[in-house]
Amino acid sequence: MKKNVLVSLVLAATLAVSALTGCGAAAGGADSSADKTIKVGATPVPHAEILDNIVKEVLAEDGWTLETVVFSDYVLPNTSLEEGELDANYFQTLGYMNQQNSDAGLHLTAVAGIHIEPMGIYSEKYTSLADLPDGASIGIPNDPDNGERGIDLLVQKGLLTSKGGFGTDANYNEDSLTNDAEANPHGYVITPLEAASLPLSLPDLDAATINGNYALEAGLPAKHPALDIESFDAETTVKRTNFLVVKDGNQESEKTKALIKALQSDKVQKYIDDTYKGAVITSFIDAQ
């Protein structure tokens, strides 16, 4: 009886060790496979296009598998990254990331600059800025950040001589600028509209300052190339760059290093230049 009990105990112990070893092997196999898969959240254009059409190929050369998760909004890519559902995301500027960290209590950090989507001046009626007549209607985005960006672009390209009090005087709005003969000697009618609707409204305007992503989604660079696009100095380059972002603590992970190497590669540079023809420009800068 004692012998049978002893044999039973030995068998049970052997099976338990085998089961644990099997579980460990399975878990190790799953982890090994997962370690070579990188999950990145992105918005559709141009971020997901860049990831799927060229970055996936570059990563594969080093043995990595890229899984792109496409989001239609700007909130979920960050909360999903915070919750560990993504390894990184690629869609946002430093300003937006910092605001989200502050407002939503997130712990995200930028690790590499990838590209800028320049705001451009587009028109379906004219082919050069010099052709715009006095009193022309010019659309700008109606949100504060992009609206001021649009006004800055008009000043930068000489359509306005200054911003007047726009962005500094709470009582000075688009109508004020329209009627400000000193800042707006050509009497352009500055028309604020929702940024996403500007491409659809372009036939009813003489021109509009349109964000690069919305111009791309509407196919404007191919149909009606920008009359001119933003120029950037060192400060605005950092401000307008779209960064690769990870959760704090993962800056030096192998996945992060692989993503930075792939996204800032010569192949990605060529793809962006050839595909977007100025509507997207590379900005391979370090995170600030």
Mind listing the domains of the chain with CATH numbers? 36-118+235-282 (3.40.190.10), 120-229 (3.40.190.10)
Is the predicted pLDDT of residue 13 greater than 80, yes or no? Answer: no
State the pLDDT at residue 113.
Answer: 98
12 token code pair = 């049970």
What are the angstrom distances between the C-alpha of 178 and each of 87, 131, 182? 47, 19, 10
Contact, 122 vs 195, CB < 8 A?
no
Contact, 271 vs 106, CB < 8 A?
no
Contact, 17 vs 24, CB < 8 A?
no
What does DSSP say about strands 65-70 and 88-92: parallel, antiparallel, or unpaired?
Answer: unpaired
> Which of these ranges, 27-41, 71-85, 109-123, has the smallest mean pLDDT?
27-41
The sheet with strand 241-247 has its strands ordered as 65-70, 37-42, 88-92, 241-247, 108-116, 281-282
Span 140-145, average pLDDT:
90
- More confidently predicted of 146 and 20: 146
Distance CA 163, CA 283 (A): 27
Distance CA 222, CA 91 (A): 23
State the pLDDT at residue 5.
Answer: 43
State the pLDDT at residue 213.
Answer: 85
**Cα 186 to the center of its chain, rounded Å:** 35
State the pLDDT at residue 21.
Answer: 39
pLDDT in tens, 231-264: 999 999 999 999 999 999 999 999 999 999 999 9
Is the predicted pLDDT of residue 3 greater than 80, yes or no? Answer: no
Is the predicted pLDDT of residue 31 greater than 60, yes or no? Answer: no
The pTM for the full model equals 0.74
What are the angstrom distances between the C-alpha of 64 and each of 6, 20, 114, 163, 261? 50, 29, 19, 49, 12
